[in-house]
Protein backbone atom coordinates (compact mmCIF):
# COMPACT_ATOMS: atom_id res chain seq x y z
CA UNK A 1 0.00 0.00 0.00
CA UNK A 2 2.75 2.45 0.96
CA UNK A 3 4.77 1.50 -2.10
CA UNK A 4 1.88 2.12 -4.50
CA UNK A 5 1.17 5.44 -2.81
CA UNK A 6 4.78 6.63 -3.20
CA UNK A 7 4.85 5.53 -6.86
CA UNK A 8 1.58 7.44 -7.45
CA UNK A 9 3.04 10.59 -5.84
CA UNK A 10 6.20 10.30 -7.95
CA UNK A 11 4.19 9.89 -11.17
CA UNK A 12 1.92 12.86 -10.37
CA UNK A 13 4.91 15.05 -9.51
CA UNK A 14 6.76 13.96 -12.66
CA UNK A 15 3.80 14.68 -14.95
CA UNK A 16 3.32 18.06 -13.25
CA UNK A 17 6.96 19.07 -13.79
CA UNK A 18 6.94 17.76 -17.37
CA UNK A 19 3.81 19.81 -18.17
CA UNK A 20 5.57 22.92 -16.87
CA UNK A 21 8.68 22.15 -18.92
CA UNK A 22 6.71 21.80 -22.16
CA UNK A 23 5.63 25.45 -22.09
CA UNK A 24 9.09 26.86 -21.42
CA UNK A 25 10.75 28.97 -24.08
CA UNK A 26 14.46 29.61 -24.03
CA UNK A 27 16.16 32.77 -25.22
CA UNK A 28 13.06 34.97 -25.58
CA UNK A 29 12.29 36.84 -22.34
CA UNK A 30 9.16 38.97 -22.08
CA UNK A 31 10.80 42.02 -20.48
CA UNK A 32 14.15 42.63 -22.15
CA UNK A 33 14.81 46.37 -21.60
CA UNK A 34 17.54 45.73 -19.00
CA UNK A 35 19.23 43.04 -21.11
CA UNK A 36 19.24 45.31 -24.15
CA UNK A 37 20.82 48.11 -22.11
CA UNK A 38 23.60 45.83 -20.88
CA UNK A 39 24.26 44.38 -24.34
CA UNK A 40 24.31 47.81 -25.99
CA UNK A 41 26.46 49.67 -23.44
CA UNK A 42 28.48 46.99 -21.66
CA UNK A 43 31.39 46.87 -24.08
CA UNK A 44 31.74 50.64 -24.13
CA UNK A 45 31.32 51.37 -20.41
CA UNK A 46 33.34 48.51 -18.90
CA UNK A 47 35.66 47.76 -21.87
CA UNK A 48 34.93 44.03 -21.60
CA UNK A 49 33.83 41.48 -24.15
CA UNK A 50 32.19 39.15 -21.64
CA UNK A 51 28.88 40.78 -20.74
CA UNK A 52 28.18 38.21 -17.99
CA UNK A 53 31.36 39.18 -16.13
CA UNK A 54 30.51 42.84 -16.66
CA UNK A 55 27.13 42.38 -15.00
CA UNK A 56 28.50 40.22 -12.17
CA UNK A 57 31.49 42.37 -11.23
CA UNK A 58 30.61 45.87 -12.41
CA UNK A 59 26.88 46.59 -12.65
CA UNK A 60 26.02 44.18 -9.82
CA UNK A 61 29.33 44.28 -7.97
CA UNK A 62 27.68 44.78 -4.60
CA UNK A 63 25.91 41.41 -4.93
CA UNK A 64 29.24 39.74 -5.62
CA UNK A 65 30.68 41.34 -2.49
CA UNK A 66 27.81 39.83 -0.50
CA UNK A 67 28.37 36.45 -2.15
CA UNK A 68 32.06 36.49 -1.24
CA UNK A 69 31.18 37.44 2.33
CA UNK A 70 28.75 34.51 2.53
CA UNK A 71 31.47 32.11 1.36
CA UNK A 72 33.96 33.59 3.85
CA UNK A 73 31.47 33.25 6.71
CA UNK A 74 30.66 29.66 5.76
CA UNK A 75 34.36 28.71 5.76
CA UNK A 76 34.86 30.42 9.13
CA UNK A 77 31.91 28.41 10.46
CA UNK A 78 33.39 25.11 9.24
CA UNK A 79 36.77 26.04 10.74
CA UNK A 80 35.18 26.81 14.10
CA UNK A 81 33.20 23.57 14.05
CA UNK A 82 36.29 21.42 13.39
CA UNK A 83 38.54 23.39 15.70
CA UNK A 84 38.01 21.16 18.74
CA UNK A 85 38.61 18.02 16.68
CA UNK A 86 42.03 19.13 15.41
CA UNK A 87 43.19 20.84 18.60
CA UNK A 88 45.70 18.10 19.38
CA UNK A 89 47.82 18.75 16.29
CA UNK A 90 51.42 19.51 17.17
CA UNK A 91 52.26 21.31 13.94
CA UNK A 92 49.37 23.77 14.12
CA UNK A 93 49.73 27.03 15.97
CA UNK A 94 46.18 28.31 15.97
CA UNK B 1 15.81 18.10 -34.63
CA UNK B 2 19.32 16.91 -33.74
CA UNK B 3 19.20 19.24 -30.73
CA UNK B 4 16.04 17.58 -29.45
CA UNK B 5 17.63 14.14 -29.79
CA UNK B 6 20.67 15.27 -27.76
CA UNK B 7 18.36 16.75 -25.10
CA UNK B 8 16.41 13.50 -24.83
CA UNK B 9 19.62 11.45 -24.61
CA UNK B 10 21.08 13.65 -21.86
CA UNK B 11 17.86 13.65 -19.84
CA UNK B 12 17.54 9.87 -20.22
CA UNK B 13 21.12 9.56 -18.96
CA UNK B 14 20.16 11.78 -16.00
CA UNK B 15 17.29 9.48 -15.07
CA UNK B 16 19.44 6.35 -15.47
CA UNK B 17 22.28 7.74 -13.33
CA UNK B 18 19.81 8.84 -10.63
CA UNK B 19 18.37 5.31 -10.53
CA UNK B 20 21.93 3.92 -10.36
CA UNK B 21 22.67 6.07 -7.31
CA UNK B 22 19.64 4.52 -5.62
CA UNK B 23 20.46 0.99 -6.79
CA UNK B 24 24.15 0.55 -5.90
CA UNK B 25 24.98 -1.12 -2.58
CA UNK B 26 28.65 -0.16 -2.97
CA UNK B 27 28.72 3.42 -1.69
CA UNK B 28 31.85 4.37 -3.64
CA UNK B 29 30.12 3.37 -6.88
CA UNK B 30 27.05 5.34 -5.78
CA UNK B 31 29.21 8.43 -5.19
CA UNK B 32 30.71 8.07 -8.67
CA UNK B 33 27.22 7.69 -10.17
CA UNK B 34 26.26 10.91 -8.38
CA UNK B 35 29.30 12.54 -9.99
CA UNK B 36 28.07 11.27 -13.37
CA UNK B 37 24.68 12.87 -12.62
CA UNK B 38 26.37 16.22 -11.92
CA UNK B 39 28.45 15.92 -15.07
CA UNK B 40 25.36 15.25 -17.21
CA UNK B 41 23.60 18.26 -15.64
CA UNK B 42 26.63 20.37 -16.52
CA UNK B 43 26.45 19.07 -20.10
CA UNK B 44 22.77 20.06 -20.20
CA UNK B 45 23.65 23.57 -18.99
CA UNK B 46 26.25 23.81 -21.74
CA UNK B 47 23.72 22.75 -24.39
CA UNK B 48 21.31 25.40 -23.04
CA UNK B 49 24.09 28.00 -23.66
CA UNK B 50 25.04 28.70 -20.04
CA UNK B 51 28.78 27.88 -20.01
CA UNK B 52 29.43 29.79 -16.76
CA UNK B 53 26.94 27.67 -14.84
CA UNK B 54 28.29 24.55 -16.56
CA UNK B 55 31.84 25.23 -15.32
CA UNK B 56 30.57 25.88 -11.77
CA UNK B 57 28.49 22.71 -11.79
CA UNK B 58 31.32 20.57 -13.15
CA UNK B 59 33.82 21.89 -10.61
CA UNK B 60 31.63 21.89 -7.51
CA UNK B 61 29.06 19.17 -8.23
CA UNK B 62 31.30 16.63 -9.91
CA UNK B 63 34.57 17.53 -8.19
CA UNK B 64 34.28 18.87 -4.67
CA UNK B 65 31.08 17.06 -3.63
CA UNK B 66 32.50 13.72 -4.79
CA UNK B 67 35.71 14.44 -2.87
CA UNK B 68 33.70 15.07 0.30
CA UNK B 69 31.71 11.84 -0.25
CA UNK B 70 34.93 9.84 -0.78
CA UNK B 71 36.41 11.30 2.41
CA UNK B 72 33.25 10.30 4.29
CA UNK B 73 33.35 6.75 2.85
CA UNK B 74 37.03 6.44 3.77
CA UNK B 75 36.23 7.14 7.41
CA UNK B 76 33.14 4.88 7.59
CA UNK B 77 32.09 1.67 5.83
CA UNK B 78 32.15 1.11 2.11
CA UNK B 79 29.15 -1.22 1.74
CA UNK B 80 25.57 -0.46 2.65
CA UNK B 81 23.93 -2.82 5.14
CA UNK B 82 20.39 -4.17 5.13
CA UNK B 83 17.88 -2.16 7.10
CA UNK B 84 16.54 -4.36 9.95
CA UNK C 1 45.37 5.99 5.46
CA UNK C 2 46.37 6.63 1.87
CA UNK C 3 45.15 5.44 -1.49
CA UNK C 4 47.01 3.14 -3.89
CA UNK C 5 50.08 4.11 -5.90
CA UNK C 6 48.02 4.42 -9.11
CA UNK C 7 45.71 7.01 -7.54
CA UNK C 8 48.62 8.98 -6.08
CA UNK C 9 50.53 9.05 -9.38
CA UNK C 10 47.41 10.14 -11.31
CA UNK C 11 46.79 12.90 -8.76
CA UNK C 12 50.39 14.12 -9.14
CA UNK C 13 50.14 14.20 -12.93
CA UNK C 14 46.66 15.75 -13.13
CA UNK C 15 47.28 18.40 -10.45
CA UNK C 16 49.43 20.60 -12.71
CA UNK C 17 47.02 20.43 -15.63
CA UNK C 18 44.00 21.28 -13.46
CA UNK C 19 45.93 24.17 -11.86
CA UNK C 20 46.85 25.66 -15.24
CA UNK C 21 43.27 25.30 -16.52
CA UNK C 22 41.92 27.04 -13.42
CA UNK C 23 44.40 29.91 -13.74
CA UNK C 24 43.42 30.24 -17.40
CA UNK C 25 39.74 30.54 -16.47
CA UNK C 26 40.52 33.15 -13.77
CA UNK C 27 42.80 35.30 -15.93
CA UNK C 28 40.58 35.20 -19.03
CA UNK C 29 37.42 35.80 -17.00
CA UNK C 30 36.68 39.03 -18.85
CA UNK C 31 37.07 37.43 -22.30
CA UNK C 32 35.75 33.88 -22.18
CA UNK C 33 33.01 32.20 -20.13
CA UNK C 34 33.98 31.70 -16.52
CA UNK C 35 35.51 34.04 -14.01
CA UNK C 36 36.85 34.20 -10.51
CA UNK C 37 34.38 31.87 -8.83
CA UNK C 38 34.47 29.20 -11.53
CA UNK C 39 38.26 29.26 -11.89
CA UNK C 40 38.77 29.19 -8.12
CA UNK C 41 36.44 26.18 -7.86
CA UNK C 42 38.43 24.38 -10.59
CA UNK C 43 41.74 25.04 -8.77
CA UNK C 44 40.17 23.87 -5.49
CA UNK C 45 39.12 20.67 -7.29
CA UNK C 46 42.80 20.02 -8.07
CA UNK C 47 43.70 20.60 -4.43
CA UNK C 48 40.86 18.26 -3.38
CA UNK C 49 42.26 15.56 -5.69
CA UNK C 50 45.61 15.70 -3.88
CA UNK C 51 43.91 15.84 -0.46
CA UNK C 52 41.79 12.76 -1.24
CA UNK C 53 44.75 10.77 -2.62
CA UNK C 54 47.21 11.26 0.26
CA UNK C 55 47.02 10.72 4.00
CA UNK C 56 46.50 13.56 6.46
CA UNK C 57 50.13 13.76 7.62
CA UNK C 58 51.46 13.88 4.05
CA UNK C 59 48.90 16.56 3.09
CA UNK C 60 49.93 18.70 6.06
CA UNK C 61 53.50 18.70 4.75
CA UNK C 62 52.31 19.90 1.33
CA UNK C 63 49.59 22.42 2.26
CA UNK C 64 49.50 24.67 5.31
CA UNK C 65 46.12 25.51 6.87
CA UNK C 66 47.23 28.95 8.01
CA UNK C 67 48.42 29.74 4.48
CA UNK C 68 45.05 28.84 2.96
CA UNK C 69 43.21 30.88 5.61
CA UNK C 70 45.48 33.86 4.92
CA UNK C 71 44.87 33.40 1.19
CA UNK C 72 41.11 33.46 1.65
CA UNK C 73 41.19 36.58 3.82
CA UNK C 74 43.61 38.31 1.45
CA UNK C 75 41.27 37.62 -1.49
CA UNK C 76 38.28 39.19 0.24
CA UNK C 77 40.32 42.19 1.43
CA UNK C 78 41.71 42.71 -2.09
CA UNK C 79 38.20 42.52 -3.57
CA UNK C 80 36.81 45.10 -1.14
CA UNK C 81 39.96 47.23 -1.43
CA UNK C 82 39.73 47.50 -5.22
CA UNK C 83 36.12 48.60 -4.82
CA UNK C 84 37.00 51.07 -2.03
CA UNK C 85 39.69 52.82 -4.11
CA UNK C 86 36.86 54.09 -6.30
CA UNK C 87 35.44 55.94 -3.27
CA UNK C 88 38.84 57.56 -2.72
CA UNK C 89 38.84 58.80 -6.30
CA UNK C 90 35.56 60.62 -5.72
CA UNK C 91 33.29 58.26 -7.67
CA UNK C 92 30.74 55.68 -6.58
CA UNK C 93 31.42 52.35 -4.88
CA UNK C 94 32.41 49.65 -7.43
CA UNK C 95 32.95 52.23 -10.18
CA UNK C 96 35.14 50.87 -12.98
CA UNK C 97 37.81 53.58 -12.79
CA UNK C 98 40.44 51.75 -14.85
CA UNK C 99 38.28 51.10 -17.93
CA UNK C 100 39.26 53.08 -21.07
CA UNK C 101 41.98 54.87 -19.07
CA UNK C 102 45.04 53.57 -20.93
CA UNK C 103 46.62 52.32 -17.70
CA UNK C 104 46.71 48.70 -16.44
CA UNK C 105 43.94 46.69 -18.18
CA UNK C 106 42.83 49.99 -19.69
CA UNK C 107 42.44 49.42 -23.44
CA UNK C 108 39.12 50.19 -25.11
CA UNK C 109 36.96 47.63 -26.86
CA UNK C 110 35.08 48.30 -30.13
CA UNK C 111 31.37 47.58 -30.23
CA UNK C 112 30.26 44.26 -31.66
CA UNK C 113 32.02 40.92 -32.13
CA UNK C 114 35.80 41.21 -31.92
CA UNK C 115 38.68 38.82 -31.10
CA UNK C 116 39.32 40.36 -27.68
CA UNK C 117 42.44 41.60 -25.93
CA UNK C 118 43.79 40.54 -22.54
CA UNK C 119 44.73 44.11 -21.59
CA UNK C 120 41.11 45.31 -21.30
CA UNK C 121 38.42 45.34 -18.67
CA UNK C 122 39.54 47.91 -16.09
CA UNK C 123 39.10 46.58 -12.58
CA UNK C 124 37.32 43.40 -13.67
CA UNK C 125 40.48 41.25 -14.08
CA UNK C 126 41.71 42.44 -10.66
CA UNK C 127 38.38 41.47 -9.09
CA UNK C 128 38.45 38.12 -10.90
CA UNK C 129 41.90 37.41 -9.46
CA UNK C 130 40.77 38.45 -5.96
CA UNK C 131 37.64 36.27 -6.02
CA UNK C 132 39.64 33.41 -7.52
CA UNK C 133 42.19 33.52 -4.70
CA UNK C 134 39.40 33.66 -2.13
CA UNK C 135 37.35 30.78 -3.53
CA UNK C 136 40.48 28.63 -3.99
CA UNK C 137 41.55 29.06 -0.38
CA UNK C 138 38.05 28.75 1.04
CA UNK C 139 36.96 25.56 -0.74
CA UNK C 140 40.35 23.87 -0.25
CA UNK C 141 40.36 24.58 3.48
CA UNK C 142 36.84 23.16 3.90
CA UNK C 143 38.00 19.81 2.41
CA UNK C 144 41.21 19.92 4.47
CA UNK C 145 39.26 20.44 7.71
CA UNK C 146 36.96 17.53 6.87
CA UNK C 147 40.01 15.29 6.26
CA UNK C 148 41.49 16.36 9.61
CA UNK C 149 38.19 15.51 11.32
CA UNK C 150 38.07 11.97 9.94
CA UNK C 151 41.74 11.30 10.62
CA UNK C 152 41.07 12.02 14.31
CA UNK C 153 37.98 9.79 14.19
CA UNK C 154 40.04 6.91 12.71
CA UNK C 155 42.51 6.98 15.58
CA UNK C 156 39.82 6.90 18.26
Domain ranges across chain A: 2-81
pLDDT of C35 above 50: yes
Residues 6+ apart with CB under 8 A from C37: A67, B56, C131, C132, C135
pLDDT of B52 above 60: yes
Q: What is the pLDDT of residues C41-64, one digit of tens each?
A: 999 999 988 888 888 888 888 888
CB contact under 8 A, B64 and C45: yes
Lowest mean pLDDT among A15-19, A66-70, A78-82, C1-5: C1-5
Q: How confident is the model at residue B16 (pLDDT cuts 50, 70, 90)?
A: very high
Q: pLDDT higher for A22 or A91?
A: A22
Hey, what long-range contacts does C18-25 have (CB within 8 A, 24 or more apart)?
C18/C42, C18/C43, C18/C45, C18/C46, C18/C49, C19/C43, C19/C46, C22/C46, C22/C132, C22/C136, C25/B55
**For chain C, what is the domain count?**
1
Residues of A in contact with C69 (CB under 8 A): 79
Tell me the shortest Cα–Cα distance from B78 to chain C, in angstroms.
14
Q: For residue B82, tell me if it sits in a domain.
A: no
Domain that holds residue C96: 5-155
Q: What's the pLDDT score for residue B18?
A: 93
Q: What is the pLDDT of residues A26-73, one digit of tens each?
A: 777 778 888 888 888 888 888 888 888 888 888 888 899 999 999 999
Residues 6+ apart with CB under 8 A from B24: B30, B33
Nearest to B52 among A26, A27, A52 (CB): A52
Q: For residue B49, tell me if it sits in a domain.
A: yes
Lowest mean pLDDT among A10-24, A75-89, C73-87: A75-89
Mean pLDDT of the C63-80 span? 89
Residue C97 to residues A22, C31, C87, C105, C130, Cα–Cα distance (Å): 45, 19, 10, 11, 17
Contacting A residues, span 40-79, partner chain B, CB-CB under 8 Å: 52
**For chain B, what is the domain count?**
1
* Nearest residue in chain B measured CA to CA from A56: B52
pLDDT of B4 above 60: yes
Domain that holds residue B27: 2-75
Amino acid sequence: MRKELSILIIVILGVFLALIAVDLTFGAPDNSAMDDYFIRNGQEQAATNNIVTTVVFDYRGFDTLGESTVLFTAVIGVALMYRKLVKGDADENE
Amino acid sequence: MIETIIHVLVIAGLVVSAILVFHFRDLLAAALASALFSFLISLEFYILQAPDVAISQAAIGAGLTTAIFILAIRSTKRYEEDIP
Amino acid sequence: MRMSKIVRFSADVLFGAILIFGFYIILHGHLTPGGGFQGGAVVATGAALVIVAYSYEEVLHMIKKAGLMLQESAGLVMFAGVALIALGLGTTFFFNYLANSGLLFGMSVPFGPNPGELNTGGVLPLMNIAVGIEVWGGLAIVILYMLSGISKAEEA
